């Protein structure tokens, strides 16, 4: 009953929000009314009840990629798509995966004690007693045993290991204990291995997502003392996907690398543990007091070791080729059926995955159902909408990467945009990252989505929040104190399935979700009870996510002129470049301070010039397209669409980025040393990090060439009024 | 034996450092050799052995102001001065003070439990069993009882209480629990009282100076779980000194306010407690989860209350007039005996005070002994050097304020500089704050002081550290990326005895010390053992502090032209003003974000113009003075000295700052809402905080008038080459 009321309320809000909306970008006047009507049908379709039902089913059992449960979930998803009336199929690949066979961790100094590699059963939470859940292990973690003294390495970043070296502490022959956070976990293991460690233990410090961030599960949303963060230790920023088929698809009969030939997986064993178990090691650890920023939230002063604490670890993996299942659903386009708008969400989870990823799967299913309802009401898109449910994302974006590599040619030629949804809901705060060309359509779509709890629209509150964050944090230049806020999408790094589309294929992409306090990531407590209590009580944000997802897909798929816009593109990139420029000044000041002359003296002048050119080209393009839309000039629209598909492909370089040729986008990439976090202008960032002047010059030349080519394509795509 | 070796080493270093020193500022060439020779004698005098001996004596017993022990320590100090050959005297005042008679704190919800108001006895530390130490109490805290629900208020700043109000949580009729830090403790109690709280409990959170900052005493320098931070709860930023004689000296027969008439002491009872006891309250506290930044270092998620925890507190004070004893020693000046250079350090402590303040007293005694040795060797200053050992600083700078008020006229006319030393040593890191006119003499003095542990000079390492901090943290303006570092002294706020001299009388001042990890502040563990183990093993920084103290005094007292220099003055103030300007831009952005039109739109143009004028005047003055020194022009030097005394008095305004007329300096003041932290341009800062346009205009006009007058005085004091 309560949910029905909420639905009515939402519909009312949606209707009132609708009245004030401007025309959607790229639609000829004649088609606006029909589009908005179909959108209303779509917006009215998602419900909390359905979202809850899908999530309950999806999360009944843990469903790790490569397991029988995950195959069953794939079938469940395919069946739902078919039930909604979509054409659906399962596409299977065999990929290299691992599951734990036997894992153990034993404290051998200061006392002998077996450390737990499984979470506590909590009376109030039946899912915490589930049988099918794997104990602590790392996806693509190595089999092996190790024993030795512990060294604490903070977050295990390259800078942290450098700090240890400065303190004259070697990790060679030792076991590194590092906390989760800051960078992708695989890069921690990689760095430890490079420096001679024989094993790695990663734990979740309570400062980062435990009691220091809020009440802990089951009394709150944050990490229980026994909770373990599972996850992949692939070298994600070097290359994602099946490590046995690097850069090519895992088709039947493909040449396979053996494990020892693989370049993106660790050789030393690693294990994740809880902070309750980590405390037993850390408390005993001797050696120097840690640098201040290394202190975490356990109630004692941390030491780096070695001395005082030693462990034995043993990891036996069942590894080899296992089947994974990508599920697809299609709504065929009427006039440009070969062009695709792809809505992708992964399905595999480390445990039950109520947040990660199946809150996304539930919203994705609701979006599919809602779009089916729009089709049912008579709407048909110009372009084909592809719903993709990826498998084995958790291991290293495997399902999406293999498919992207498999279909590279057609995607390059025809994919308009990739719209990603990973974890959809951990709270009420909307966030979205993406290529700047999608800013306008994101903005106008989210502006039509009602905020279920606070009233108004999600868009209003999102823009307000970004404006507030800018006001609070944006650098202040006393010479130009009147700088004003401009809305930009967040930057995409990696860690989800947009990676192959954006970084490998140059396809405009976004990734979005609703955020909040979330401390059960990759633990057994990421389950239905958590979501119902903390993530989305009443299940109101799941349908809200579905509405945005459906709406933006409808607009991109149906607009007469593709709603990619370039007026703010250069300014968005300039903000990102300014961050890099500030870092260069900071670094130079510090180097002068140390009389270090090896530091890079980077000149950004020509690059800023290329951005100026892009700003003019983007502004001209937007203006020209506005004219085409106003004139309802179908022939011109077709020509623009044809050209638009290729505009951002100009950012790709054939031979890829240094040390990681699979990454081919010279503007967008994850940090080589961060994994998750973005490195805009990755070659330049890498040159700055490494003080590599030659790389900087080459990177700047390549970025300038790419931006110039993009400007040229924009100018050709829609010649400005002057021409 | 070991100490003797260190002394020899230090002498060697001092001698080698000497060879490279440029001439001291303001000395005619003819007197340089004699001065440097005398300085060598002085520099060679302080020893670790003596410093250790003085500290051991001074800290034998706790010696709170107004107690018999403190009178005995005053006599000990006077006797030492006389033993060194100085003329010495004790100047006694009767001032209002309080001591605890009976204090108790009882948890009454969730369980009944007496909470401890005394520290643990630790086997390894005999001083922790001392009999003479008062239990937990607050200087100038009110007598009374209170009982009620607890509300947690983070640091108890006005912004924190505003946050509580936003959360709809009232402290009325309740007891506020706040952690120490960020602002002076009296202002926490003041704010709680203003908002209707009936009692206040302050505790030291382990995040701030406990285990999260390092190993805890007795195994390390940081706060033991049972350690209590005593301290004054006077409203220090409103007016320091004896609250029974506000603004006038506590001479015999002075009119006295009764306690209820006093405007700078609380009416509600307050108590300090340890984090071990605070944990018992905080763990039980219900209500909402705290805002994220309010979380401290105890191992659970903090809540604000009310609900879950209630206490009863009872405080009975023995309060009234009690005697305090300022001790003075004199080295009379030869040619300008009426002019004084004052070296002040307080002597009273909340417990044994091995750091606070008697590390300072030990170094101060060594400086006196060293100067006496220089005098013995034939040196005599032009001006009189006054050694001042203040009493009752801990209660509210009482000894120095009453004396400053008592001698206001002669100080205004004749005091050249006030040099403060409070806690001298908690570690090896030299720090100094002060008026920019003293930058050059500070810089050249510290450059002659050998660093005892690392080699080189303290000055080199200090400048290097400031340069590094600048490189790391100074704002970056992309339009002028080549901004360079300039050395400035830190800013003085309040919380030590320079306050009356700088803020009330306009006398150029510095305050310095050697810093490190320090978590025993105002607890029973601030004792000799702590210093010997953690603060200054080998007692090498105490004599180092004495060397700097003696050297700068010798230079200011003996230079033919006073070494006050004004070339960098305006740039130092501009840096401070720029911080304020940035805050204004930030605030305006945030206000625009909220569409709040009440926010101040401050115009700094005219003030920046006044600073430009001061920059020219200061540069011209320095240049002119250089000429006088080069020509050894005694008549001109005498005229400059006469004028120089009054240059910075131009910054005083007769009617003082808004809401606190005792503070008369329009450029330097402690924050009205911070107590310790400085508010440069205090009226402007206050106007910005309160969005008070009228106050801003008035404040800007007064600051401009003061700076213009200062420029004029500089121009007159030493007419530039052009005149």
The mean of the pLDDT values for chain B is: 95
Query: According to the model, what pLDDT value does residue A426 have?
Result: 98
Res B14 pLDDT > 50: no
CB contact under 8 A, A295 and B212: yes
Q: Which residue has the tokens 């209480």?
A: B161
- Smallest CA–CA distance, residue A292 to chain B, in Å, is 7
CA atoms within 13 A on the CB side of A660: 22
Query: According to the model, what pLDDT value does residue A153 have?
Result: 98
CB contact under 8 A, A477 and B479: yes
Nearest to A471 among B289, B481, B593 (CB): B593
**Chain A CB within 8 Å of residue B338 CB:** no
Q: Which of A368, A350, A437, A381 has the alpha carbon at shortest distance from A137?
A: A350
- Which are the contacts of A157, defined by CB distance < 8 A and separation ≥ 6? A182, A183, A187, A188, A191, A673
Which of A16-20, A567-571, B64-68, B649-653 has the least mean pLDDT?
A: A16-20
Q: Where residue A268 falls among pLDDT bands split at 50, 70, 90?
A: very high
Query: According to the model, what pLDDT value does residue B425 have?
Result: 98
How far apart CA B368 and CA B674 sit, in angstroms, is 34
**Chain B CB within 8 Å of residue A473 CB:** no
Q: Which residue of A has its CA nearest to B485?
A: A589
Query: Domain locations in chain A?
Result: 2-95+325-558, 97-320, 569-717
Residue A634 and residue A118 in contact, taking contact as beta carbons nearer than 8 Å: no
Give per-residue pLDDT as tens, B61-95: 999 999 999 999 999 999 999 999 999 999 999 99
For testing contact with chain A, the best of B283, B463, B471 (most A CBs within 10 A):
B471
How far apart CA B204 and CA B298 sit, in angstroms, is 11
The tokens of B218 are what?
């007795």
Beta-bridge partner residues of A386 = A330, A342
Mean pLDDT of A194-217: 98
Query: According to the model, what pLDDT value does residue B602 have?
Result: 87
How far apart CA A616 and CA B38 sit, in angstroms, is 72
DSSP letter at B451? P
Query: According to the model, what pLDDT value does residue A132 have?
Result: 80
The tokens of A49 are what?
């009840």
Residue B236 and residue B670 in contact, taking contact as beta carbons nearer than 8 Å: yes
Angle between helical axes of A48-58 and A2-19 (0-180°, round to 10): 120
Phi first, then psi, for residue A545 (nearest 5°) are: -60, -40
Pairing mode, strands B87-109 and B310-331: antiparallel
Angle between helical axes of B29-44 and B541-558 (0-180°, round to 10): 160
Query: According to the model, what pLDDT value does residue A47 have?
Result: 98
**Chain A CB within 8 Å of residue B475 CB:** yes
Query: According to the model, what pLDDT value does residue B699 have?
Result: 97
Q: Where residue A312 falls among pLDDT bands split at 50, 70, 90?
A: very high
What is the Rg, in whole angstroms, of the alpha carbon atoms belonging to chain A?
A: 25
How far apart CA A78 and CA A88 sit, in angstroms, is 6
- Smallest CA–CA distance, residue B618 to chain A, in Å, is 24
Q: Which of A370, A342, A365, A384 has the alpha carbon at shortest distance from A424?
A: A365
Query: According to the model, what pLDDT value does residue B129 have?
Result: 83
Mean pLDDT of B230-242: 97
Query: According to the model, what pLDDT value does residue B16 have?
Result: 47
Mean pLDDT of A441-453: 98
Give per-residue pLDDT as tens, B666-692: 999 999 999 889 999 999 999 999 999
Mean pLDDT of A358-387: 98
Q: Which CB contacts under 8 angstroms, 24+ apart, belong to B304-307?
A: B304/B151, B304/B152, B304/B153, B304/B164, B304/B167, B304/B169, B305/B149, B305/B150, B305/B151, B305/B152, B305/B169, B305/B174, B306/B149, B306/B150, B306/B151, B306/B169, B306/B174, B307/B149
Q: Where residue B480 falls among pLDDT bands split at 50, 70, 90?
A: confident
For testing contact with chain A, the best of B215, B278, B279, B585 (most A CBs within 10 A):
B585
For testing contact with chain B, the best of A515, A585, A595, A602 (most B CBs within 10 A):
A585
Give per-residue pLDDT as tens, A149-175: 999 999 999 999 999 999 999 999 999
Give yes or no: B338 in active site: no
Determine how many CB atoms are found less than 10 A away from the CB of residue A703. 25
- Smallest CA–CA distance, residue B299 to chain A, in Å, is 6
CB contact under 8 A, B581 and A478: yes
- Which are the contacts of A232, defined by CB distance < 8 A and separation ≥ 6? A138, A139, A140, A185, A186, A394, A395, A396
Nearest to B590 among A212, A472, A478 (CB): A472
Topology (CATH level 3) of domain B2-95+325-558? Aminopeptidase (3.40.630)
How far apart CA B121 and CA B127 sit, in angstroms, is 8
Res A374 pLDDT > 90: yes
ipTM, interface predicted TM-score of the complex: 0.93
In degrees, to the nearest 5, what angle opens at C-alpha B162 toward C-alphas B160 and B166? 115
Residue A204 and residue A275 in contact, taking contact as beta carbons nearer than 8 Å: yes
Mean pLDDT of A484-507: 97
Phi first, then psi, for residue B197 (nearest 5°) are: -65, 155
Which of A703-707, B16-20, B326-330, B454-458 has the least mean pLDDT?
A: B16-20
Mean pLDDT of B190-209: 98
- Smallest CA–CA distance, residue A219 to chain B, in Å, is 11
Q: Which of A629, A693, A688 has the alpha carbon at shortest distance from A24?
A: A629
Contacts of A213 in chain B (CB under 8 A): 292, 295, 301
- Which are the contacts of A612, defined by CB distance < 8 A and separation ≥ 6? A570
Phi first, then psi, for residue B570 (nearest 5°) are: -65, -35
Nearest to A582 among B299, B476, B590 (CB): B476
**Chain A CB within 8 Å of residue B478 CB:** yes
Question: How many contiguous H segments (helices) and E segments (strands) does chain B have?
Answer: 22, 14
For testing contact with chain B, the best of A288, A460, A473, A478 (most B CBs within 10 A):
A478
How far apart CA A461 and CA A457 sit, in angstroms, is 7
Mean pLDDT of A676-683: 94
CB contact under 8 A, B299 and A206: yes
Angle between helical axes of A439-446 and A458-473 (0-180°, round to 10): 120
**Chain A CB within 8 Å of residue B300 CB:** yes
**Chain A CB within 8 Å of residue B582 CB:** yes
Catalytic residue (one of A319, A393, A402, A689): A393
Query: According to the model, what pLDDT value does residue B720 have?
Result: 59
Query: According to the model, what pLDDT value does residue A17 have?
Result: 46
- Smallest CA–CA distance, residue A278 to chain B, in Å, is 14
Q: Where residue B4 falls among pLDDT bands split at 50, 70, 90?
A: very low
**Residue B177: enclosing H or E segment and its boundaries?**
strand B175-179
- Smallest CA–CA distance, residue A350 to chain B, in Å, is 27
Contacts of B582 in chain A (CB under 8 A): 476, 478
CATH class label, B97-320: alpha beta
Query: According to the model, what pLDDT value does residue A591 have?
Result: 83
Beta-bridge partner residues of A149 = A310
Query: According to the model, what pLDDT value does residue A721 have?
Result: 54
Contacts of B299 in chain A (CB under 8 A): 206, 211, 297-299
The mean of the pLDDT values for chain A is: 95
Which of A301-310, A504-513, B6-15 has the least mean pLDDT?
A: B6-15
Q: Looking at A332-409, which runs of residues are DSSP E strands?
A: 336-346, 383-390
Catalytic residue (one of B39, B70, B193, B393): B393
What is the Rg, in whole angstroms, of the alpha carbon atoms belonging to chain B?
A: 25
**What's the longest Cα–Cα distance across chain A?**
80
Give per-residue pLDDT as tens, B342-379: 999 999 999 999 999 999 999 999 999 999 999 999 99
Res B13 pLDDT > 60: no
Transcribe A650-699 into DSSP letters.
GGB-TT-BTTBTT--BSS--B-TTTSSSB-SSHHHHHHHHHT-HHHHHHH
Contacts of B592 in chain A (CB under 8 A): 471
- Smallest CA–CA distance, residue A494 to chain B, in Å, is 27
Query: Which residues in chain B (196-225) have CB-CB distances under 8 A to chain A?
Result: 206, 211-216, 220, 222
Mean pLDDT of A123-130: 87
How far apart CA A583 and CA B655 sit, in angstroms, is 47
Res B300 pLDDT > 60: yes
Nearest to A214 among B289, B470, B582 (CB): B289
Query: According to the model, what pLDDT value does residue B12 have?
Result: 43
Query: According to the model, what pLDDT value does residue A13 have?
Result: 43
**Residue A714: enclosing H or E segment and its boundaries?**
helix A693-717
Query: According to the model, what pLDDT value does residue B23 have?
Result: 86
Mean pLDDT of A588-613: 86
Q: Where residue B578 falls among pLDDT bands split at 50, 70, 90?
A: very high
For testing contact with chain B, the best of A476, A487, A611 (most B CBs within 10 A):
A476
End-to-end Cα spacing for chain B: 61
Higher pLDDT, A674 or B610: B610
For A569-717, CATH gives 1.20.930.40
Nearest to A593 among B214, B222, B471 (CB): B471
Nearest to B300 among A211, A476, A582 (CB): A211
Query: According to the model, what pLDDT value does residue B519 have?
Result: 98
Pairing mode, strands B138-139 and B231-232: parallel
């Amino acid at each position: 009953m309560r949910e029905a009321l909420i639905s009515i309320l939402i519909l009312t809000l949606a209707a009132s929000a609708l009245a004030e909306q401007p025309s959607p970008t790229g639609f000829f006047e004649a088609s606006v009314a029909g589009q908005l009507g179909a959108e209303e049908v779509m917006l009215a379709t998602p419900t909390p009840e359905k979202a809850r039902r899908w999530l309950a089913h999806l999360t009944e059992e843990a469903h790790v990629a490569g397991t029988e449960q995950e195959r069953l979930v794939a079938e469940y998803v395919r069946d739902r798509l078919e039930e909604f009336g979509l054409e659906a199929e399962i596409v299977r690949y065999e990929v290299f995966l691992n599951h734990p066979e036997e894992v153990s961790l034993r404290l051998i100094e200061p006392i002998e004690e077996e450390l737990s590699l499984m979470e506590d059963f909590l009376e109030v939470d039946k899912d915490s007693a589930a049988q099918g859940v794997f104990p602590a292990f790392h996806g693509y973690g190595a089999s092996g045993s190790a024993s030795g003294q512990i060294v604490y390495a903070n977050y295990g970043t390259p800078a942290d290991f450098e700090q240890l070296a400065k303190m004259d502490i070697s990790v060679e022959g030792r076991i590194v204990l590092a906390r989760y956070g800051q960078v992708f976990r695989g890069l921690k293991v990689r760095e430890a291995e490079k420096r001679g460690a024989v094993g790695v233990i990663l734990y979740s410090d309570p400062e980062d997502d435990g009691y220091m961030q809020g009440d802990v599960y089951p009394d709150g949303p944050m990490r229980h003392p026994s909770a373990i963060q599972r996850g992949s230790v692939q070298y994600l920023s070097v290359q994602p996907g099946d490590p046995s088929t690097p850069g090519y698809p895992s088709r039947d009969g493909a040449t396979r690398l053996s494990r020892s030939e693989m370049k993106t997986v660790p050789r030393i064993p690693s294990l994740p543990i809880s902070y309750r178990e980590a405390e037993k090691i850390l408390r005993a650890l001797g050696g120097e007091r840690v640098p201040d920023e290394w202190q975490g939230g356990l109630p004692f002063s941390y030491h780096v070791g070695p001395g005082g604490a030693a462990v034995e670890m043993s990891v036996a993996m069942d590894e080899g080729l296992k089947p994974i299942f990508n599920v697809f659903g299609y709504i065929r386009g009427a006039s440009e059926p070969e062009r695709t708008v792809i809505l992708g969400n992964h399905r595999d989870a480390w445990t039950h995955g109520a947040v990660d990823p199946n809150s996304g799967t539930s919203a994705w299913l609701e979006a599919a159902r809602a779009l089916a309802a729009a089709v049912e009401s008579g709407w048909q898109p110009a372009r084909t909408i592809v719903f993709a449910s990826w498998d084995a994302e958790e291991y290293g974006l495997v399902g999406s990467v293999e498919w992207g590599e498999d279909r590279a040619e057609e995607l390059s030629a025809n994919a308009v945009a990739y719209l990603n949804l990973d974890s959809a809901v951990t709270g009420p705060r909307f966030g979205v990252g993406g290529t700047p060309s999608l800013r306008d359509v994101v903005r106008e779509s989210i502006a039509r989505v009602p905020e279920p709890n606070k009233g108004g629209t999600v868009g209003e509150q999102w823009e307000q929040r970004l404006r507030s964050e800018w006001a609070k944090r944006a650098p202040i230049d006393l010479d130009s104190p009147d700088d004003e806020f401009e809305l930009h999408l967040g930057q995409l790094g990696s860690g989800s399935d947009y990676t192959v589309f954006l970084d490998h294929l140059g396809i405009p992409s976004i990734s979005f979700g609703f955020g909040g306090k979330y401390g059960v990531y990759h633990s057994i407590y990421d389950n239905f009870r958590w979501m119902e209590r903390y993530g989305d009580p009443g299940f109101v944000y799941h349908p809200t996510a579905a509405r945005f997802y459906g709406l933006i897909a409808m607009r991109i798929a149906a607009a007469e002129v593709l709603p990619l816009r370039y007026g703010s593109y250069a300014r968005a990139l300039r903000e990102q470049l300014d961050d890099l420029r500030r870092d260069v000044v900071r670094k130079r000041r510090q180097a002068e301070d140390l009389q270090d002359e090896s530091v890079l003296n980077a000149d950004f002048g020509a690059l800023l010039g290329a951005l100026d050119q892009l700003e003019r080209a983007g502004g001209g393009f937007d203006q020209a397209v506005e004219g085409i839309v106003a004139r309802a000039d179908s022939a011109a629209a077709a020509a623009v669409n044809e050209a638009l598909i290729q505009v951002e492909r100009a950012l790709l370089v054939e031979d890829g980025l240094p040390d990681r040729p699979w990454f081919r986008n010279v503007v967008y990439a994850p940090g080589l040393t961060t994994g998750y976090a973005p490195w805009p202008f990755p070659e330049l960032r890498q040159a700055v990090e490494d003080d590599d002047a030659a790389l900087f010059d080459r990177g700047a030349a390549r970025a300038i060439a790419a931006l110039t080519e993009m400007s040229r394509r924009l100018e050709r795509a829609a010649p400005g009024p002057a021409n």
